[in-house]
Amino acid sequence: MTPINAVNSRAAHSLAMSDGTASAHRYLPKLVTTLAAGYSPDTLRRDAMAGLTVAILALPLSMAIAVASGVSPDRGIYTAIIGGFLVSALGGSRYQIGGPAGAFIVLVAATVARFGIDGLVLAVLLSGVMLTLIGALRLGALIRYIPHAVAVGFTSGIGVTILASQLKDLAGLKLRDTEPGPILPKLAALAQALPTFSPVALALGAGTAVVILGLRRFRPGWPGMLVAVIGATLVASLLHLPVETIGSRFGGIPHGLPAPQLPAISLERLVALLPTALSFTLLGGLESLLSAKVADGMTGRVHRSNMELVAQGIANVASALFGGISVTGTIARTATNIRAGAQTPVAGMLHAVFLLVFMIIAAPLASYVPLTALAGLLVVVAWNMVERREFASLMTQWRAAIVLLATFGLTLLVDLTAGIMVGCGLAALFWGIARLRSKITRP
């Protein structure tokens, strides 16, 4: 090897070591790696500020996702505290923030409607075991092969479904029966409830969404979601507006975490919940690795995919034991963590600690939060989930367009699992045909 080549080789090796490429396959939490390299008071200060920033964002968002999922808001906070702490402490990404995610709203709501809260908790626990096994067996790389058109299709489908699920609270509608899960019966039931429409609720919910979007554009450094929800709560309370609140529907939020306990487990229940748990596992793996990949792109580092899946699995098991819902890596909170100056996984751990402090101190105040304000917040989340530019770009390629529309349509009209399975099947079919043609035409 020449001296120049030797220098280049050492430089490449040094770069690989600095960005994490050389250790991407290791089963070692990034927390251990970063602490072993040294941890200064200045690093702690930066991590603490980032953790506080993310906690301020995560507090209203966790409650909103839980309410939209058909469970009480405290379960969303339990998920963010327990899941968020373990994802950061054990995960394969320096910056990943775990917690409840909008992508799971439809799946969680459908599980609660069919199996009840106990069934949901058991499904989350089972999916946690599956995610841990997938990571332990080094199968994390397989999830990365989900076609881009499928990912855009099911994400956009979930976004539209979330938007539809918020129309009831956003407009203050009163349904005679339980709100249907499938989107077409849901829209029909909402149409029948139009005579109960509340202009006050709609104005407050739409105002919340407008404030979030406005602050995001003109004051991006402000915690727009928290400011908007607090503002809506003050307006509703001071003016005594006739809108439903967290307190009127759920009776408030506890001052701390519950004691952990196992859900009722039987072979019959496990078999019945297996397809649901598989859906949680697939979506959780996709969301977590996609979020970690986004973090890599923002920082120039490389995450450990299999270690990340193991951590996500353990976090889901723990969340279930504390009565929480599904945990996954969250793109918006992870990106906020990076922009706020996070240096190590300690930032994510501190975000969970700050959430616990908020819960202990401010639990009584959460009772006054209007549900229409949380619906307005989730309208913004749903709007961001619909990848409009990517959707339009994929529609210009006929094979990708077919995969995209099939995934989107089935996710919207049937369920997430059907959308992903059919989308992946069509993508594999087109890939096989293309390979066969290339072999036939090859001289």
Runs of H (alpha helix) within 172-328: 183-192, 199-218, 224-238, 246-250, 267-299, 305-321
Structural domain boundaries, residue 174: 22-441
Task: Give residue-wise pLDDT tens across range 122-175.
Answer: 999 999 999 999 999 888 766 667 788 988 888 888 889 888 888 999 999 998
For residues 328-340, average pLDDT: 89
pLDDT at residue number 392: 93
Residue 85 lies in a domain: yes
More confident position, 376 or 332: 376
Say whether pLDDT at 421 is over 50. Answer: yes
Helix (H) or strand (E) holding 405: helix 398-413
Listed in sequence order, the residues at least 6 apart from 425 whose beta carbon sits closer than 8 Å to its beta carbon are none
pLDDT grade for 442, boundaries at 50, 70 and 90: low
Position 4 in a domain:
no
Judge contact between 215 and 222, C-beta under 8 A.
yes
Q: Are 179 and 186 in contact (CB under 8 A)?
A: yes
Other Cβ atoms within 10 Å of 342 Cβ, number: 30
Phi/psi for 45 (5° steps) reads -60, -45
In angstroms, how far is CA 253 from the centroid of its own chain? 22
- Integer CA distances (angstroms), 377 to 76, 273, 344, 357, 383, in order: 15, 31, 29, 23, 10
Contact of 91 with 311, CB cutoff 8 Å: yes
Q: How many domains does the chain have?
A: 1
Evaluate whether 147 touches 401 at the Cβ level (below 8 Å): no
Phi, psi of 329 (to 5 degrees): -70, 135
Q: What is the pLDDT of residue 128?
A: 97
Residue 396 pLDDT: 93
The pLDDT score that the predictor gives to residue 283 is 87
Does residue 15 belong to any structural domain of this protein? no
pLDDT category of residue 2 using cuts at 50, 70 and 90: very low
Q: For residue range 71-120, what is the model confidence (pLDDT) as tens digits?
A: 999 999 999 999 999 999 999 999 999 999 988 888 899 899 999 999 99
To the nearest whole number, what is the mean pLDDT of the chain?
Answer: 88
Residue 8 lies in a domain: no
Q: How far is CA 37 from the centre of its chain?
A: 30
Cβ-count burial of 44 within 10 angstroms (0-12 exposed, 13-18 middle, 19+ buried)? Answer: middle
Rounded to whole angstroms, the Cα distance separating 114 from 125 reads: 17
User: Would you say residue 149 lies in a domain?
Assistant: yes
